[in-house]
A and B are shown apart, each in its own frame.
Chain A
Amino acid sequence: MAVSTLPVPSMYADHHVTAVRRALEEVAGVQEIQTSAAFKEVTVKHSKEVTKEALAEALGKAGYPVGQEKSPQGEPSCFGDPGWYECAPRCIKTDTVDLEMSGDFRRY
């Protein structure tokens, strides 16, 4: 049994946590995952056969690269919102069904 802690700067919201967990669960040999969106860090208990690099690779593929967070005041970061990018719909129109269902609450 080994424990690896990896900094994941792009994991800062609940849906990021879900995505990170999903990515790590798919790595054979991973036994327990503890994530913290607050500290942007994931701690993984895994078999000795699993390397830290393999975990980092799985996270990178899922859009959550391992690495230190850069200060926006320093060098620019090329990091957007991968969670939104992977999950959110790209609608640009009022959802009229939702508008109807909202009743007076959303009717002006």
Chain B
Amino acid sequence: MAKNRKTIDPAAEAMLSRAAELGVTTAFQRVDEMKPCPIGSQGLCCKNCAMGPCRLTKEGQVGICGATVETIAARNLARAIAAGAAAHSDHGRDLCFVLHGAATGEAPGYRIRDEFKLREVARDLGIATEGRSKEEIAVDVAEKALAEFGKQSGEILYLSRAPKKRQEIWRELKIAPRGVDREIVEILHRTHMGNDQDAEHILDQSMRAALGDGWGGSMLATDISDILFGTPNPLVTQVNLGVLKDDEVNIIIHGHEPTLSEMIVAAARDPEMIEYAKSKGAKGINLAGICCTSNETLMRQGVPSAGNFLHQELAVLTGAVEAMVVDIQCIFQGLVGVAEDFHTLVITTSPKAKITGATHMEFDEHRAPQIAREIVKAAVDNYPNRGPVFIPADKENLVPGFSHEYIRYMLGGYYRGSLRPLNDAIMAGRLRGVAGVVGCNNPRVVQDEAHFDLVKGFLENDVLVVQTGCGALCSAKYGLLQGEAMRYAGPGLREICETVGIPPVLHMGSCVDNSRILTVLAEMATEGGLGEDISDIPGVGIAPEWMSEKALSIGTYFVASGAYVLFGVKSPVEGSETVTDIIGRGWESKVGGKLEFEPDPAKILQKSLDHIDKKRAALGLPQYDPTRFGESGDRRWNAWLKAQREGAKVSPYSMAGVTSDET
């Protein structure tokens, strides 16, 4: 690998050359100019009061108030987790309001698309469904879901979806979240100057807040998105910058929320709007996504993706984007600066995310279709201003949309859907285990490299991979989210995937949809054969190129749910051995899961496989043997064909007449 290599994506490489040619700066260059603060990056800078900021640089040093290295590192980590949990959960809250509006008719354009899911969610929230209209149920679901955010006592309701043993652990440790918001607020309180100053105690609350995200805010966001826009099921679409078209109006939707983007999809497909685009000289309107708004529209509407997180500025650099429509989270302020050199309109839409210099067209669910049309029209009107265009040809097919519900169906059919075949495959050793490879891109490491190497490594070792967010889009770009990726799979994994008809890497949605992975793990535990709890399952969670606080919240709720989680890049608590030990060995003794930071992808892979094998041994499962399975069906079939070709009198119904040793 060249030392200054920035990405493994040829489309991104082409765009970076283009950026250099045009003298435009992107995050890929800014990262070289911005050295990380050596104290802050280790978690040792405390700026929680005006006596400081206190920068602790050596062991034993304390802040002005006497706060130790471990207290400061724990407080910083806790605050980051709280911010991540807040971001995901606030996303969920907004979806509750849209569901309420859709049911009462106050949010025109939205409707309850998935009544099955609505009734299922209602049952889990304890809402009566018998003899009631979907609108009546939806109002109650929205109100009860909203109440989960502000609840002050008791437990959030979705905890009941976890295995019983797991629920007991949470109760015993007093980390079962009472309400989504309360636990986040409590972190902010505890980490205020002069309050909670015991690292372990602070970090216990981090688990509680993160659980409120994973089993609360995020899970509600996923469920309500499914109710409003449909539970994902597999479809075929495409990814990478090559999906942009040089003769159509290109609109990119970027961010995380599906509410406005779903309306933009409808507006962009409106024949009247397409005619309007033609009147401006374009051949049509081409919609593409970036980041998790892309994941949402990709898996439900088949809207192609222009790429993951680090592609946002590169897409503008093509000169072919009429409008970059952004909602919330992971949006570079630098987009506005890059867009100044092109005709691209950066349109902010969320009342929570305005960017100086961008055009603000605020989203309001009460008139969403109208706003979506105005946005699409603004993009079309911008088409004649387009200058020179440079679109890389790279694009790849992918099959997204493996919701938990659809995986159950694929494994068990309509009438007895279950994850039993998955458990069976792990127990027999055809699958060594499962891995969730999720998370962001980070320009501090080569874009996509760690994601790709890890996913490929897992496949070669017969580990089934599930992915969400930018990690999923990364694998998609290299063809891993389609049947053709089977060429990387080990023999046992290949056998399972070919039998079921799934790719070896399953796209499960956006980053709030990590909650789908939680429910899959819960069902694997309750199905039997792999222990009684999530912590018994031979599986790991990885975020190899993480960068956001949301990733820390996700990692923490997986750990608190019993999973072994490994993050790449670097540790935000590197400066404190005590905190590193608390979130590793300490959390493992408490909740069965642990959080580790390991920058080397090869070591992440080895640690993951070691952990999977350790869990297999603890369950008494046969030791993983890559030569034991695979090709068995093919071998007999090939022997039959060979015998037939050689003129043997073979039976079409048995191996009779096949004399080969292979029988």
Contact = CB atoms under 8 A, between A and B. Distances in A.
B397 interface: yes
A108 B528 contact: yes
B90 interface: no
Contacts of A15: 414
B427 A95 contact: no
Interface string B401-425: 1001110110000101111100000
Nearest to B269: A78
B301 interface: yes
Interface residues of A, number: 26
A79 B529 contact: no
B426 to A, nearest CB: 11
B302 interface: yes
A91 B408 contact: yes
Contacts of B549: none
A93 to B, nearest CB: 6
Contacts of A78: 235, 237, 301-303
A93 B405 contact: no
A51 to B, nearest CB: 21
Nearest to B483: A72
A108 B529 contact: yes
B231 interface: yes
Given A81-B233, A85-B230, A76 B523 contact: no
Given A15-B414, A72-B236, A81-B233, A93 B161 contact: yes
Nearest to B398: A76
B147 to A, nearest CB: 22
Interface string A69-104: 000110011111100110111111111101100000
Q: Would you call the interface of chain A mostly helix, strand, loop, or mixed? A: loop
B401 to A, nearest CB: 6
B301 A91 contact: no
B523 A94 contact: yes
B234 interface: yes
B117 interface: yes
A106 interface: yes
Nearest to A96: B526
A89 B234 contact: no
A61 interface: no
Nearest to B304: A76
A87 B414 CA distance: 8
A77 B236 contact: yes
Nearest to A82: B233
Contacts of A84: 233, 406, 409, 414
Given A77-B302, A93-B161, A106-B420, A88 B414 contact: yes
Contacts of A96: 526
A76 B238 CA distance: 6
B427 A80 contact: no
Contact of B234 (A81, A91, A94): A81
Contacts of B414: 15, 84, 87-88
B518 to A, nearest CB: 10
A79 B400 CA distance: 11
A25 B416 CA distance: 29
Contacts of B528: 94, 99, 106-108
A95 B529 contact: no
Given A78-B301, A79-B302, A106-B420, A94 B526 contact: yes
Nearest to A107: B528
A32 B238 CA distance: 39
Given A77-B236, A85-B230, A90 B116 contact: yes
Contact of A91 (B114, B302, B417): B417
B427 A88 contact: no
A90 B117 CA distance: 5
B519 interface: yes
B186 interface: no
Nearest to B120: A90
Interface in B340-355: none
Contacts of A89: 116, 120, 405, 417
B527 interface: yes
Given A93-B161, A94-B418, A94-B527, A79 B405 contact: no
A107 B424 CA distance: 11
Contacts of B520: 92
B330 to A, nearest CB: 24
Contacts of B236: 72, 76-77, 79
Interface string B298-331: 0001111000000000000000000000000000
A103 to B, nearest CB: 12
B418 A95 contact: yes
Nearest to A70: B236
A39 B639 CA distance: 31
B301 A88 contact: no
Nearest to A79: B235
19 contacts: A76-B237, A77-B236, A77-B302, A78-B303, A79-B235, A80-B234, A81-B234, A85-B231, A89-B405, A90-B117, A90-B226, A90-B231, A90-B405, A91-B405, A91-B408, A92-B161, A92-B520, A94-B528, A95-B418
The 4 closest A-B pairs by CB, nearest first: A78-B302, A108-B529, A94-B526, A80-B235
